[in-house]
Amino acid sequence: MYPQRRLRRLRKRAIQPLFRETKVLKEDLIAPVFFDENLSERKPIESMPGQFRYPVAEAADVAQRLSESGIQAMLLFGIPKSKDESASEAWNEEGVIQNVVRAIKSEVPDMVVITDVCACEYTSHGHCGIIGDTPCGPDLLNDPSLELMMRIAVSHAASGADIVAPSCMLDGQVTAIREALDEEGFEDIPVMSYSTKFASALYGPFREAADSGMAFGDRTTYQLECGNAREAFLESEMDLSEGADILMVKPAGFYHDIIASITSLGVPVAAYQVSGEYSMIKAASEKGWLDERSVVMESVKSIKRAGADLIITYFAEDIAGWLNEEQ
Ligand code: PBG
Ligand code: ZN
């Protein structure tokens, strides 16, 4: 009548730390950071309390601060001084990201600099590439946009980026970028593809952060429908076959099953805890409804448990601080 198998034996307070299956480490984390060419001082992002748009001049300081907390990698987003239909600022040698990358790599050379390769912060219409007329109305044109991504990726690599991360969900994005990089002598620069990116309502706060709201339409003709698990797997499988070095699932929290399925492909998997995931936790914590630190740690631990090797999160610096306290 009494149980012989008692799993609680290993949960005694002193013993249980020996059996923790999942640990989040500082080196698992990538901090996304926004740089705005129009600013001379940092500006708070209202929909993401605790996050800022930084001026280009602060790039090295931000990298230094993250590095001191133990964060080894950053994912960079830029807001340019001008936008146009063809996103020409995105591949300007003296553009916002290009200048930020050079500043960080010259002052904090050990920081791994990853750049978001996309056009939505740089186009006047806010879409991720070139828009043209199609039989169903104006829409993102795949192949002309690929040429744009090739130029952007090469310009990021030329300014010193360690890894490029295409986020535009174009067909053939990895092949195109790989070929362009190799052609220019950047065959050692890895591609971290946003290979499985859903058309998610959780990107809402990011659009304020990166000033990338759309003048018309939405991203559902290029990003994935949230219920499509098979297609999500196929997207990552195709990017792998095109030569992606690292795959990514985005968002992270609502998509643990997808993260778990993609780990079977055998290359490292990153998961992006996106702006909406950040803001939900922040808002509830500010109201006193959730304990921020506990919920943040639970959220990233569960993303790692699902199989992610790397976690892109706006909480990176906070988490590093908490882990440092525990040491
Ligand atoms: C740009 C891009 C987006 C995000 C990362 N890169 C926005 C989008 O696709 O609309 C979202 C990140 C976030 O919400 O934190 N393609
Ligand atoms: Zn985009």
Q: Which pLDDT score is estimated for 275?
A: 98
Ligand having the closest approach to the CA of 251: 1
| Closest ligand 1 atom, residue 204 Cα | 14
Taking the mean position of all CA atoms in its chain, how far away is CA 268?
14
Tokens of 252: 């992270």
Query: For residues 160 and 153, what is the distance between their CA atoms, to the nearest angstrom?
Result: 11
Q: What is the CATH number of the domain that holds 312?
A: 3.20.20.70
Give the distance (Å) from ligand 2 centre to CA of residue 127.
Answer: 6
Ligand having the closest approach to the CA of 206: 1
Q: Which pLDDT score is estimated for 18?
A: 97
pLDDT tens across the length of the chain (327 residues)? 899 999 999 999 999 999 999 999 999 999 999 999 999 999 999 999 999 999 999 999 999 999 999 999 999 999 999 999 999 999 999 999 999 999 999 999 999 999 999 999 999 999 999 999 999 999 999 999 999 999 999 999 999 999 999 999 999 999 999 999 999 999 999 999 999 999 999 999 999 899 888 999 899 999 999 999 999 999 999 999 999 999 999 999 999 999 999 999 999 999 999 999 999 999 999 999 999 999 999 999 999 999 999 999 999 999 999 999 998
Whether 8 is covered by a domain: the verdict is no
Give the distance (Å) from ligand 2 centre to CA of residue 9.
Answer: 50
Whether 7 is covered by a domain: the verdict is no
Q: Which pLDDT score is estimated for 327?
A: 81
Whether 13 is covered by a domain: the verdict is no
Whether 17 is covered by a domain: the verdict is no
Q: Which pLDDT score is estimated for 123?
A: 97
Tally of structural domains, the chain: 1
Helical packing angle, 316-326 and 292-306, nearest 10° = 100
Whether 11 is covered by a domain: the verdict is no
Show Cβ contacts of residue 304 under 8 Å, excluding neighbours closer than 6 positions: 22, 23, 24, 28, 311
- Which residues carry out catalysis? 197, 250
**Locus of tokens 């952007």:** 152
Give the distance (Å) from ligand 1 centre to CA of residue 168.
Answer: 9
| Closest ligand 1 atom, residue 121 Cα | 1
Could you tell me the residue range of the domain that residue 157 belongs to?
25-326
Whether 83 is covered by a domain: the verdict is yes
Tokens of 264: 């079977």
Residues with CB under 6 A from ligand 1: 116, 118, 120, 128, 167, 203, 206, 219, 274-275
Check: CB of residue 74 under 8 Å from CB of residue 114. Answer: yes
Whether 10 is covered by a domain: the verdict is no
Query: For residues 246 and 193, what is the distance between their CA atoms, to the nearest angstrom?
Result: 6
Query: Which of 167, 197, 208, 273 for a ligand 1 pocket mutation test, highest count of atoms within 8 Å of Cβ?
Result: 167
Query: Which of 116, 122, 202, 206 for a ligand 1 pocket mutation test, highest count of atoms within 8 Å of Cβ?
Result: 206
Show Cβ contacts of residue 314 under 8 Å, excluding neighbours closer than 6 positions: 31, 32, 48, 50, 51, 273, 275, 278
| Closest ligand 1 atom, residue 77 Cα | 6
Angle CA(83)–CA(85)–CA(88) in degrees, nearest 5? 60
Whether 244 is covered by a domain: the verdict is yes
